[in-house]
Structure 1
Amino acid sequence: MQRKCIILGLAILIFGLIGCSSNNNHASKETQEAAADDSRETVTEKEEVSNDADQKAEEPEGNKADVKSQDADEELKEDMTDEKTLEADIETGMGEAETNGEEQEDAAFLSPTSTEYDIEKVEKHGEWAEISAEYPVFGTEEADKAIEMEAKKHFEEFETEFEENEKLLAEISYEGGESLYFWEPTVTDDYISFMFGHVMDFGGPHPYTYQYPFNYDLKNQRELSIQDFVKNESQLSNLGDLIYNKLENEGPELDMLEEATQPEWDNFQRFILMEDSIIFHYEHYELGPYAYGVFDVEVTFDELNEL
């Protein structure tokens, strides 16, 4: 009996311990499940927070893109506006430039200080002979009249011999004739100056050339001569000596240099004016043989003033 009681007590004790263990395990399991739930909630909350953060992070980028797009549109509009403005300015500027250019061209043509000029030409043609005369037109009435008269005077001289020269050239089957041209003019406020050139070619060993000066006083409306620059024979003699000394060392011995520089007015009439000097011109045969060529001597206005 006593043994049964002991066994029963032990059994009760064992079942009690098992129950406690079971309760503890159950509590532990519930605790673990609760902890897991808390962990899942925490993770979910973190994910939600992360998603919110991502959305917030994405929103500024989208806004930035929108802002950039708006800025680009505004810049494009500004560029288009600037381009239209530039085109309008260019068109306006071109119009003004064309107008100013036309005004300048007209002014240049009418100004006696410009080298702008037109060229007039008269000519006549035969089967073998041809004659012509060219001369400049500056737009200054009195000077242009004088130039035209000088050019046409030479052309009329060509015409008087035209028929005879036509026959002569036909006999030798040679195309030739006479022409008048001009050197590049010098134009200032005071004068127009250039040289007419006369060329004759009738089948000889070489063409024959001759120069005719044209110097026109714009203020007094008349042609100029050497007497307008050299006032007396003493100065003329000094001018001859000056030219002689300048030409003496030109190269070949000039047989007729001394004679050509004698103090005679006719020896110094073939000249043209530059801006600050006078150029005296000597033709073939005037100073030596044809092979020596022509000679030009420059005398400055300062040198003239010291004569």
Structure 2
Amino acid sequence: MKQLRIIFSLFLLLFLLVGCNKKDTSAPPTKAEKESSVSEMENNQEELRKKLTNYESITLEEKNEEHEVTIEYPKFSYEPLDDILSSQMDASFQLQTSDDNEALFEYDMEGIQYIFTTSFKKPVITQDYVSIYFEDYQYWGGAHGMSSPHSFNFDLKNDRIMTIHDVMKEHSTTLQVMSEMVAQKLINDEGFAEYREEPVTADYRQSVKSETIPVEENFSTFTLSEDGITFYKQYFSLFPNAMGIVGIDLKWLDVDNYMTSEKEEASNTNDSFTYQNDDYNFVLTLPSSWEGKYVVSKGDWNMDAEVSYDFNFVHNGEVICNLFSINILNEDVVGEDPELGMMTYIDRKNSNIYTYSTIPEMPEEFMEGGKLENLQDMLVKMVNDDVPNIIETFDFK
């Protein structure tokens, strides 16, 4: 019995010693441990980035008298990424060479060789993501074929596809901001100047608005870079088909600055004032910079309108030219769905349709050599930048 007690005591002592020496895993990691873990993770991501830069180009190809299909894509020897990408490319290849491909079947019947190619630009590879731009080309006879863009964006930290919503969340922005900034590029960028009139017409602005509606469909094809994002689209209503696919670049710094300026503008209530129309009970918010530079008068120049309210530019007490007009059309006269021509729809109430129109061209006084040449930039800003913002504030009191 005494021997048993001794054994039990030794066992208890050993248990206590082991328990005292056991590391307390419930204790939070120290600062040094955290930094070491982050450093190790960054090293691993950098090693992966270096590995991915040594990709090889894979070609899927089938050529015969009926069709010629060639698909090229990169292989990175990184299974989570390659599995998804190769699956997409294989599916595309199978579709394009299959008898179920309606385009292939149709043009084979007409004796025209069907051509389909997929090519890619050099991938952008960082520690966080891989971003690839692809361009498909289809030819089924005629002078030229048709190109269409698509992209592949892969999150290396989570091993999954990145959507535009993931990117917006990462950069604390929205599709609405992307829409507004892309629209501004299309309206103001010198690269597109040859495709629009100066000052920019209401029709062009309306087409831009339609092409840049903030929905995923308009912004789903994109590539990423270290300092920005590029959206790809063929703007059929703005540019000729020969222009092909257009890439619009936005820098993240510009996005941040844009959002900051929007917040400052929204919070500064002293930078605007209200115009109120008592005849038709609508209101507009105008920027304070318009104070003393405009007058409103009724116009009967628009044969389709019941009345037009013309906002005219004033300089030194003299009315110079029209800036924009609010036109009220009556449904009983023009019908419920009239042809608006140079007017742009705003709203409707009761039997009235509210539209607006802007000055169609730069007046001679503001052209080079004109007496108001020095005010040209001011007029352009008022018509191109201010008027669309004013129209957005249209409401009924």
231, 251, 255: which one aligns with 1:304:
255
CA contact (8 A) 2:99 2:105 kept: no
Computed over aligned residues only, the root mean square deviation of the Cα atoms, in angstroms, reads 2.7
Mapped contact 2:61–2:70 kept (Cα < 8 A): yes
Measured at CA, do residues 130 and 241 of structure 1 come closer, stay the same or move farther in structure 2, by a change above 3 Å? same
Deviations 1:180-220 (A, max 9, x none): 12121111111110112111111123111111110000110
Q: Is the 8 A contact 1:112 1:140 kept in 2?
A: no
Secondary structure, in 3 states, of the residue corresponding to 2:168? coil
**What is the alpha-carbon distance in structure 1 between the residues aligned to residue 116 and residue 75 of structure 2?**
21
* Partners of 2:90 and 2:151 in 1: CA distance: 15
Q: Structure 1 residue 173: deviation in Å?
A: 5.0
Highest Rg: 1 or 2?
A: 1
Aligned partner (choices 215, 218, 228) of residue 264 of structure 1: 215
Q: Find the counterpart in structure 2 of residue 126 from structure 1.
A: 64
Correspondence for 2:49 among 103, 108, 112: 112
Preserved CA contact (<8 Å) 1:278 1:298: yes
| CA distance 1:142–1:191, change in 2 (3 Å) | same
In structure 2, distance between residues paired with 1:226 and 1:244: 18
Query: Scaled by the length of structure 1, what TM-score is found?
Result: 0.57
1 CA distance for matches of 2:237 and 2:84? 28
The 5 Å alignment of 1:1-307 reads: 111-113=48-50, 115-161=53-99, 169=107, 174-231=112-169, 235-249=174-188, 250-251=192-193, 252-253=195-196, 256-283=207-234, 285=236, 287-306=238-257, 307=259
Please give the alpha-carbon distance, in whole angstroms, between the structure 2 residues aligned to 1:162 and 1:131. Answer: 15
Aligned with 2:226: secondary structure?
coil
Taking the aligned partners of 2:81 and 2:187, their CA distance within structure 1 comes to: 37
Query: Is this contact kept in 1: 2:124–2:224, CA < 8 A?
Result: yes
- Residue 182 of structure 1 contacts residue 197 of structure 1 at CA under 8 Å; is this kept in 2? yes
Greater percentage in helix: 1
Contact 1:200 1:209 (8 Å CA) reproduced: yes
In structure 1, stretches of 5+ residues that fail to align are 1-109
State the Cα distance separating 1:132 from its structure 2 match: 2.2
Q: CA deviation at 1:238?
A: 2.1
Using the size of structure 2 for normalisation, the TM-score is 0.45
Give the paired residue count: 198
Deviation per residue, 1:39-87 (Å, 9 max, x gap): xxxxxxxxxxxxxxxxxxxxxxxxxxxxxxxxxxxxxxxxxxxxxxxxx
Query: Distance in 2 between the 1:239 and 1:191 partners?
Result: 21
CA shift at 1:294, angstroms? Answer: 2.4
Aligned identity (percent) is: 26
Structure number with the higher strand fraction is 2
